[in-house]
Chain A
Amino acid sequence: MNHLFLTAWTDILESLRARWFAVYTFVFGGILVLLFALGLTESRVMGFTGLSRLMLTYLQLSMAILPVFVLVTTVRSLSGDRESGVFEYLLSLPVSLSAWYWGKMLGRFVMVYTPVLLAMGGAMLWGGLTGVELPWRIFLYYSALLMVLTWCFLGIGMLVSSVARSVDVAQGTAFVIWLGLLLFLDLILLGVMVQQYASPNLVIGIALANPLQVFRTAGMMLFDPQLVLLGPSAYVILDHFGNLGFMVYALAYPLLLGTLMAWIGYQWFRRGDLP
């Protein structure tokens, strides 16, 4: 088997045995079950009901949980392996560093994204069985959004794991990054900056650079195309990108950012000491 896929497959099997994966799957499956149990498909927000409403809530919850989960488990696992001597042994075998690094990322991506996708797919299946209208457009776009969000934070996690020399430093850094991105959402610091008359270009620049904010705005766009919820900054976004343009940007930017972060991480990993 190609070394990249062999490494990815090994990582997948490793994740299946790991406790973090059981917890992670339970959390994402559990959220959906909980949303069904709470009767969210019956409620209505801005005219949205049924599975669309459920997926919207699921997306918002995923935005809060997925990035921190991906970051912390990735850096814990990779930095932990480095610290405990797993790298010393496995990297003494004739596997190329690129196959090792990208194989790890691929395997982890499959393991992180699959439960999220299965949960969404499960909701659609349940909707199909109970005769609820199936929001295919929302399902496909939200699945793609969650995919690029996963990739983006996985890339950041790989970079942090490559740079940090210990689990503690890696975990702390990952948490600070997540917290920083969370603080610069429109609900928190960006709102304060607007209130303090900060330059609109700066505020919007930060909003467009923050993958969490991009994800949140794109998530809103499907049910609020005019971005009324976002306030005046919506004008800038819609003037510059247009509705479709921003939806494409929301997929392309996190994908590129995650790839760039992972690539920098790979260069760091390749050029530094491995164990």
Chain B
Amino acid sequence: MISIQGLRKGFGKREVIQGLDLELEPGRRVALIGSNGAGKTTLIRCLLGEYHFGGEIRVDGKCPRKQRCEVLRLVGFVPQLPPPLKMPVGQLVRFVADVAGSDPARIVAVAHRLGLNIDQNRHQPFVRLSGGQKQKLLIAAALGRDTSLLIMDEPAANLDPEARGVFFELLAEKRDKEAVMLISSHRLDEVATLVNRVIELDQGQVVLDDKVDDHVDLNSRLACRVRINRPEAAFARAVGQWGFTAAPDGLQWEGSVAGPDRLRFLGMLSRYAGLLAGLEMKDAGHG
């Protein structure tokens, strides 16, 4: 689906991406992580054909720079910062649907699922929406059409918990259709539950490429012991859903996690980082 070879991009004398190679097959759901200035946004802009670059990028065999319309027809993009568009919401929906050859009703339906009523906001300028509403509309515009590559830059940053849940559901639906997802985030825990590959960039180079479920035996299990510093009902509910049981004092929890789910499990735990006093994970063989 995506093939990147020897990608280089600089601004003036500063090289932001230095000879990056990457292959993403259909169905890959990638968390693109890295600190500020690591090259995440630059890589995304190269993939969108917005930057001039050295090396080669192919999306479905096509160059995003030379065949940008063909490539961008496959792409749903959610930017990190919503653009300050003055056009009313209704016009933006029509514009996106028209250029992408989609039905505006599909975008409206996705927005509705995310909790944004387009009809109520139809005449309101996009720029006047709240941060969360803007994010919902941009996500709806990306997901409300037929795409096989989703590129999202910190997509869930402004969403309320309910919308976040729906957003993950929508992505899971896309996942079933073998779409490639590239989700850029500063925080792995945000996207851990969604992805099956983690790529970390640092100074324009891949420093970690973890194909989570490739390296893990699908039948393996990890025995886990989690210690917390005080009992907490929300934590109990969360680990309870993973089938963990508590010691009588409620400070130690034990259970097992399927190997391929380890990233998702760690993502869940990271929400309670302040509570954690200890964590042990051991290979427990085949389950």
User: CB within 8 Å of B: which residues of A?
Assistant: 1, 3, 6, 10, 13-14, 17-18, 84-97, 271-275
B77 CB to closest chain A CB (Å) equals: 4
Interface pair A94/B100, CB less than 8 Å apart: yes
Contact of A84 among B84, B101, B125 (CB under 8 A): B84
Given A6-B99, A95-B99, A96-B68: 17 more A-B contacts, CB < 8 Å = A10-B87, A10-B91, A13-B87, A14-B86, A14-B87, A84-B84, A85-B84, A87-B50, A89-B85, A91-B48, A91-B50, A93-B72, A94-B73, A96-B69, A273-B52, A274-B50, A275-B51
With both beta carbons as reference points, the residue of chain A lying nearest to B45 in the complex is identified as: A275
What A residues does B50 contact at CB under 8 A? Answer: 87-88, 91-92, 273-275
In the complex, chain B residues 47-74 whose Cβ is within 8 Å of any chain A Cβ? 48, 50-52, 68-70, 72-73
Q: Can you give 23 contacting A-B residue pairs, CB < 8 Å?
A: A6-B95, A10-B95, A14-B87, A18-B86, A84-B83, A85-B84, A86-B83, A86-B84, A88-B45, A89-B77, A89-B83, A90-B83, A91-B50, A92-B75, A93-B72, A93-B96, A94-B70, A94-B73, A94-B75, A94-B99, A272-B52, A273-B51, A275-B51
Interface pair B69/A94, CB less than 8 Å apart: yes
A251 CB to closest chain B CB (Å) equals: 35
What B residues does A89 contact at CB under 8 A? Answer: 77, 79, 82-83, 85, 138
In the complex, chain B residues 74-120 whose Cβ is within 8 Å of any chain A Cβ? 75, 77, 79, 81-87, 91, 95-96, 98-101
What A residues does B101 contact at CB under 8 A? Answer: 94
How many residue pairs bridge A and B at CB < 8 Å? 75
A17 to B127, CA, bound (A): 13
B141 CB to closest chain A CB (Å) equals: 9
With both beta carbons as reference points, the residue of chain B lying nearest to A86 in the complex is identified as: B83
With both beta carbons as reference points, the residue of chain A lying nearest to B48 in the complex is identified as: A92
A90 to B95, CA, bound (A): 10
A80 to B250, CA, bound (A): 57
Interface pair B81/A85, CB less than 8 Å apart: yes
What A residues does B52 contact at CB under 8 A? Answer: 271-273
What A residues does B125 contact at CB under 8 A? Answer: 17
A94 to B86, CA, bound (A): 20
Interface pair B95/A88, CB less than 8 Å apart: no
A76 CB to closest chain B CB (Å) equals: 14
With both beta carbons as reference points, the residue of chain B lying nearest to A95 in the complex is identified as: B99
What B residues does A88 contact at CB under 8 A? Answer: 45, 50, 79, 83
Interface pair A93/B99, CB less than 8 Å apart: yes
What A residues does B79 contact at CB under 8 A? Answer: 85, 88-89, 92
Q: A-B pairs with the 4 shortest C-beta distances?
A: A94-B72, A92-B77, A89-B83, A274-B50
A50 CB to closest chain B CB (Å) equals: 43
Interface pair A17/B72, CB less than 8 Å apart: no
Interface pair A95/B84, CB less than 8 Å apart: no
With both beta carbons as reference points, the residue of chain B lying nearest to A274 in the complex is identified as: B50
What B residues does A1 contact at CB under 8 A? Answer: 98
A18 CB to closest chain B CB (Å) equals: 8
B69 CB to closest chain A CB (Å) equals: 5
With both beta carbons as reference points, the residue of chain A lying nearest to B9 in the complex is identified as: A273
B178 CB to closest chain A CB (Å) equals: 21
B24 CB to closest chain A CB (Å) equals: 18
What A residues does B85 contact at CB under 8 A? Answer: 86, 89-90
A86 to B126, CA, bound (A): 12
What B residues does A3 contact at CB under 8 A? Answer: 99
B287 CB to closest chain A CB (Å) equals: 43
